[in-house]
Amino acid sequence: MSIAKTYNPKEAEDKWYSYWMENGFFRSTPDEREPYTIVMPPPNVTGVLHMGHMLNNTIQDVLIRRARMQGKNACWVPGTDHASIATETKVVAMLKEQGIDKKSLSREDFLSHAWEWKEKYGGIILKQLEKLGASCDWERTKFTMDPDLSESVIDTFIKFYNEGYIYRGVRMVNWDPQGRTALSDEEVIRKEVNQKLYYIRYKVKESNDYVIIATTRPETIMADTAICINPNDERYTHLKGKTVLVPLINREIPIIEDEYVEMEFGTGCLKVTPAHDLNDYELGQKHNLEVIDILNDDGTLNEKAEILIGEDRFSARKKVAKLLEEVGQIEKIDDYKSQVGFSERTDAAIEPKLSMQWFCKMDTLAKPALEYVENGTIKLIPEKFFASYKHWMENVKDWCISRQLWWGQRIPAWYNERNEWVVAKTEAEAIRAFESQGKSISGLRQEDDVLDTWFSSGLWPMSVFDGVRNPNNPEFQYYFPTNDLVTAPEILFFWVARMIIMGHDYTQKPPFRNVYLTGIVRDKQGRKMSKSLGNSPDPIGLMEQYGTDGVRVGMLLSSPAGNDLMFDVSYCEQGRNFANKIWNAFRLVKGWETTESPATDAQKNAAKWFESRFNQAVAEIEDHFANYRLSDALMATYKLVWDDFCAWYLELVKPAYQAPIERETLETAKSFFEKILTLTHPFMPFLTEELWHDDLFGAREANDCVIVAAYPTVQPFDEKLIAEFEIVQQVISEVRSIRNSKGISPKVALPLAINASVIDFGKYQESIIKLANIAEFSLVKEKVQGAVSFLAGKNECYVALEDNLDVDAEKERISKEIAYLEGFLVSVDKKLSNERFVQNAKPEIVQNEQNKRADAQAKIDILKESLASLV
């Protein structure tokens, strides 16, 4: 069967993904094999594939495919997250387009629309991951609001409540006026913004004096309940015990004293607004100040503001500033930069707000989650993220877990007409609980709030195997704890820490062993890729243009763990070129006619070398995988295939033009090709499966696929042979370089003489003659006068160019090389003459430097002799 001239990625991708699915290669069920389990970080149902998803899921697929080929029971669980805030925002916007206001709907009607939206759009990203080649067990696909997962969430809430971790109370929270919900601290993104700093005069009552305070938020002055000074500030001694009038509304408030105020900051006077600032709230509690909340949930001013009622907070800021100027109570206005919190989901500026919410105590729960990482039970890769993880876990705050939304798991709390409440799983259980306490069940209603999405996703590694509701079920016992988690550093605390907390609380085990933290995908200018900046390519478009394997290679070539990657489409082009290189190499081998003659010694030597080099590369790649250096593992594979196999081995063994090749050599080349396909498959699944089934390898059984072929294992290799061949490669490369630099045609055969010091060049003679196009090969014991010389290792080589040699130019070249080596020798000598280095460095490092010195000196001596021989 002939093979197409060029590789057609789309045809191969559609064909083999369907084949894998139809034959159940992604399916996993418990058996006697060692399990290897990954749970996919569930993308939001609102999401579509972006470059971050591409990177994250490519890494997961490489790991899962490799484990599958290693004979492990590989299980990759996919799924999506219900994303309360993001999804509700999408549904509200959709309804608005239809002329429907959420407020006009009942909860049930709204949820009906939300589920309809989810069924229509929620699976888009998972279908896109199929295009990427993701070999997930799609039969296990989960959604965080599936009935069994939702029940697990409710059970966990009740469990934590009964254990004393969950409580209800009024506290200052981060409020998102656009989403109209509370947020946890981790859902607030701090950004530096340009603002104005307003210096406002507060009139001291029954005096002509003014107190000047500085604020970026003049719209909140109507909520002020005190002015605070430092008791040690001599500038304001005369104000102690007095009161001031709030500008514009003339409400009287006291001047209080507290060392909390920094005398050097601003004017040294602080306006205290307990309802709209966390620090002010704590100060107000300390001094028993009134709390006046002037903002509605949507960020507009309410009647307690007395003025500008109904105005948006930012509009009110401008209007209050103008009113203050009109009455002469603005001292000055400065430009000012400060950090402002924004909602991670809606990007709305956060308002600190006192609110009745549900909280989860974190101090006790967090301790085991820190210990697991400290003692190495869970490894963060790379380790640089440990410091920030430790800081967060040691300073963790209680987690606000309630959200003022309808889309999500509804909190299992029930209220009667007196606003008394109980926690219960069902209405019937709530009635029994009220009755057992002798309380009324009149006006029974369930809590309106839902739980924070991260509360449900924190159970993900357990709930996908039904380990919360049924911890003794065989699947949970087999697959949990999972192996590797691949995720982004920005959700290390949102999600990773909470999974560890919940996993330990339920099982006394960590939910995974390794956490591979990917970097952020950035453009060439270092900017994070995003739709808003217009700097992010369409992943599907990339795969259509460069082939999925090409894009996978392009992503991984530029993605060391935990470091941001500067992505450029040229990486995808490099990946596509790599796929074409393998395809063309395969076409070359497939096109060979055979003869029954025995393989030559040169072909046998080449095979021995490549087998050792292959095994050496497998050992390198294994070490890279063991240390989660996936980018390095790919690069080692790339170099093995492109350089060692294609550029060297195939060139060494291929027959002369239109001549047949020895069958033994062809079979050896085919065997090597199969090994290369298995080694490359995790990175390039489609190309490798396409070639695996070519008739060059004979007919294959239905299940004889590279996706389940045995992955290469570390085998012994001959380091001496590899080192010898590196010198042979150097000889060939140097002859080619001389021919190129002198403008001599590659077709012109040249004489080569070698003064060998260690290697038996006789067994490599045929290979050198073939690849370097040598007219006459000789081994000599003395120098060849008038020839161009070079060193390969410690072996001096001579190429006689006769009339083609420019003696002056050759003298200049050798002189430059001597000068370079002498400079190198000076640096080595300087290091070895440093007593501190010699005493403190490891013996093998010192020996290595001494070897460098000896090698450099030997090369200098040889080059000087060559220089002297030129006449």
Rounded to an integer, what distance in angstroms lies between the CA atom of residue 575 and that of residue 568? 12
* Pairing relationship of beta strands 210-215 and 252-257 according to DSSP bridges: unpaired
Residue closest to 736 by CA, chosen among 759, 723, 752, 717: 752
pLDDT confidence bin for 805, thresholds 50/70/90: low
pLDDT of residue 803: 61
The residue ranges of every structural domain in the chain are 181-351, 539-717, 808-871
pLDDT of residue 741: 81
Section 6-14 average pLDDT: 94
pLDDT confidence bin for 562, thresholds 50/70/90: low
Residue closest to 138 by CA, chosen among 80, 220, 207: 80
Region of poorest pLDDT, from 73-82, 232-241, 676-685: 232-241
pLDDT confidence bin for 255, thresholds 50/70/90: very high
Q: What architecture (CATH level 2) is domain 808-871?
A: Orthogonal Bundle (1.10)
Residue closest to 91 by CA, chosen among 406, 350, 343: 406
Residues 453, 83 contacting (CB under 8 angstroms): yes
The percentage of the chain sitting over the pLDDT mark of 70, rounded to a whole number, equals 98
Query: Three-class SS of residue 212?
Result: strand
Q: Is the pLDDT of residue 481 over 90?
A: yes
Rounded to an integer, what distance in angstroms lies between the CA atom of residue 710 and that of residue 70? 6
Kindly give the residue spans of alpha helices, DSSP state H, lying in 641-780: 650-653, 663-680, 685-692, 719-741, 765-772
Residues 353, 223 contacting (CB under 8 angstroms): no
Dihedral, CA of residue 673, residue 676, residue 680 and residue 681, to nearest 10: 60
For residue 587, report the phi and psi dihedrals to the nearest 5 degrees. -60, -40
pLDDT of residue 658: 81
CATH of 181-351, one of 3.40.950.10, 3.30.70.20, 3.90.740.10, 1.20.1250.20: 3.90.740.10
pLDDT of residue 510: 97
Section 537-541 average pLDDT: 88
Q: Is the pLDDT of residue 564 over 80?
A: no
Query: Three-class SS of residue 488?
Result: coil
Region of poorest pLDDT, from 67-71, 285-289, 428-432, 830-834: 830-834
In this predicted model, what pLDDT tens digit does every residue of 618-660 receive, in sequence order? 999 999 999 999 999 999 999 999 999 999 999 999 998 889 9
531 annotated among ligand-binding-site residues = yes
Rounded to an integer, what distance in angstroms lies between the CA atom of residue 625 and that of residue 713? 12
Q: Is the pLDDT of residue 870 over 70?
A: no
Residue closest to 345 by CA, chosen among 125, 563, 81, 54: 81
Kindly give the residue spans of alpha helices, DSSP state H, lying in 426-496: 427-436, 453-457, 460-463, 474-479
Q: Is the pLDDT of residue 871 over 60?
A: no
pLDDT of residue 718: 96
Rounded to an integer, what distance in angstroms lies between the CA atom of residue 539 and that of residue 442? 56
Residue closest to 413 by CA, chosen among 85, 167, 144: 167
Dihedral, CA of residue 326, residue 331, residue 337 and residue 338, to nearest 10: -90
pLDDT confidence bin for 561, thresholds 50/70/90: low
- The helix (run of H) or strand (run of E) holding residue 314 is helix 313-326
- Say which residue the tokens 């430092």 belong to: 230
Residues 168, 297 contacting (CB under 8 angstroms): no
pLDDT of residue 849: 83
Kindly give the residue spans of alpha helices, DSSP state H, lying in 70-106: 84-97
CATH of 539-717, one of 1.20.910.10, 1.10.730.10, 3.20.20.70, 2.40.10.10: 1.10.730.10
pLDDT of residue 566: 77
Rounded to an integer, what distance in angstroms lies between the CA atom of residue 540 and that of residue 425? 44
In this predicted model, what pLDDT tens digit does every residue of 677-686 receive, in sequence order? 999 999 999 9
Q: Is the pLDDT of residue 835 over 60?
A: yes
Mark residue 308 as left, alpha or beta (left: phi above 0; alpha: psi -120 to 50; beta: remaining): left
pLDDT of residue 7: 94
- The helix (run of H) or strand (run of E) holding residue 272 is strand 269-272
pLDDT confidence bin for 531, thresholds 50/70/90: low
Rounded to an integer, what distance in angstroms lies between the CA atom of residue 516 and that of residue 624? 13
pLDDT of residue 569: 87
One-letter amino acid at 118 equals: K
pLDDT confidence bin for 411, thresholds 50/70/90: very high
pLDDT of residue 773: 95
pLDDT of residue 863: 77
Q: Is the pLDDT of residue 23 over 90?
A: yes
Q: Is the pLDDT of residue 853 over 90?
A: no
Residues 19, 55 contacting (CB under 8 angstroms): no
pLDDT confidence bin for 854, thresholds 50/70/90: confident
In this predicted model, what pLDDT tens digit does every residue of 767-799 receive, in sequence order? 999 999 999 999 999 888 878 889 998 899 999
ω before 716 within 30° of 0 (cis)? Answer: no
CA angle 785, 787, 788 (to 5 degrees): 140
- Going by the DSSP 8-state scheme, the letter that residue 492 receives in this structure is I
Distances from the Cα of 178 to the Cαs of 333, 346, 402, in angstroms? 29, 7, 16
One-letter amino acid at 809 equals: A
Q: How far apart are the first and last CA of the chain?
A: 61
Residue closest to 3 by CA, chosen among 592, 658, 415, 478: 592
Residue closest to 220 by CA, chosen among 290, 301, 288, 282: 301
Residue closest to 347 by CA, chosen among 532, 514, 147: 532
The pLDDT mean for the chain works out to 92
Residue closest to 575 by CA, chosen among 16, 48, 7, 2: 7
Q: Is the pLDDT of residue 719 over 90?
A: yes
Region of poorest pLDDT, from 182-186, 390-394, 520-524, 561-565: 561-565
Distances from the Cα of 386 to the Cαs of 372, 375, 492, in angstroms? 11, 11, 10
pLDDT of residue 812: 80
- 570 versus 715: which is more confidently predicted? 715
pLDDT of residue 588: 95
